[in-house]
Amino acid sequence: MKNVLITGAAGFLGSHLVDKFLQEGFRVYGMDNLITGNLDNLKHLDANSNFTFINHDVSNYINFEGDLHYILHFASPASPIDYLKIPIQTLKVGSLGTHNLLGLAKAKNARMLIASTSEVYGDPLIHPQTEEYYGNVNPIGPRGVYDEAKRFQEAMTMAYHTYHGVETRIVRIFNTYGPRMRLNDGRVIPAFMGQALRGEDLTVFGDGSQTRSFCYVADQVAGIYKLLFSDYVNPVNIGNPVEISIADFAKEIIKLTGTTQKVIYKPLPINDPLQRCPDISKAKEILGWEPQVNREEGMRITFDYFKSLSQEELFKKEHKDFKAYSKN
């Protein structure tokens, strides 16, 4: 049985990866400091003897006893609300955390995959975004702590591959959604669905002409899994290329939820990208991967998940108290 370490294991995407690797017959070690993660995402694994949870901050030294074959680094705040509240921790997990894990991969002769992001492209000047595009990022803007942490993470990973011979993989993740998303994390899908369920008007920032493309979590996990076991070491976009404007998406959510709220408009946040859509040619060619779940089906499953939450969860303003981390 092969051993895999997944950081950010109690998060939305990390917890789905834990499920995938357990289903594939791996012994899984999930690491998370729970600054944004939630142990409820792993509660269904309490009796699974092939899963071990480790409460640890990867920005600190990591000691792992025994053999380790694969590392997937998914620890990081990933929503604007999070990384604007804990900017230093966001930078540290992308830099110090990545360095620590690459050192562990080198020591254990393990293959390591890092979770990069479409945010490395910033507010893109080309459309759709290809892996060869270097991006249009403001390093000192409010989103810079996340964008630049991920860009540094890619550079450090490639340096370890080039100079130390560590087996590495880089996935650039585009907007992903599905069950276990945090309702109040600031991203558009939980924001719209939460507002609909609470009877609030849907908030669109800007004029709504900005676009996004949404990939269902099962498709994203399948792409990541294929990339890990491929021979390709350069970054690969994994996302859904079907694009929609935020204004049109708000109308879709109102139709899906059967609500009668109106859409209200607020100013667009600084450096918020106006277009976000992946070119997935490499994923198709190299991995034989493309999305299988259409937006209508995926949104229905996701909305059913949010409907299942308690009234207390629906009206909770924040998921976590970040005060304990404010001095770090």
Give residue 250's identity as a one-letter amino acid code. Answer: A
Please name the helix (run of DSSP H) or strand (run of DSSP E) that holds residue 46, with its range, or none.
none
Q: Distance between CA 18 and CA 224 in Å, rounded?
A: 12
Per-residue DSSP letters for 90-106? Answer: HHHHHHHHHHHHHHHHH
Residue 193 tokens, joined: 């669905």
Nearest of 225, 249, 236 to residue 285 by alpha carbon: 236
State the catalytic residue, choosing from 121, 146, 216, 225: 146
- Helix 144-164 crosses helix 87-108 at what angle (to 10 degrees)? 10
Other beta carbons less than 10 A from residue 289's beta carbon: 21
Residue 210 tokens, joined: 């900005």
Let me know if 146 is a catalytic residue: yes
Q: Are strands 211-213 and 243-245 parallel, antiparallel or unpaired?
A: antiparallel
Per-residue DSSP letters for 75-139? Answer: -S--SHHHHHHSHHHHHHHHHHHHHHHHHHHHHHT-EEEEEEEGGGGBS-SSSSBPTT---B--T
How many residues in total does the chain contain? Answer: 328
What residues are labeled active site?
A: 146
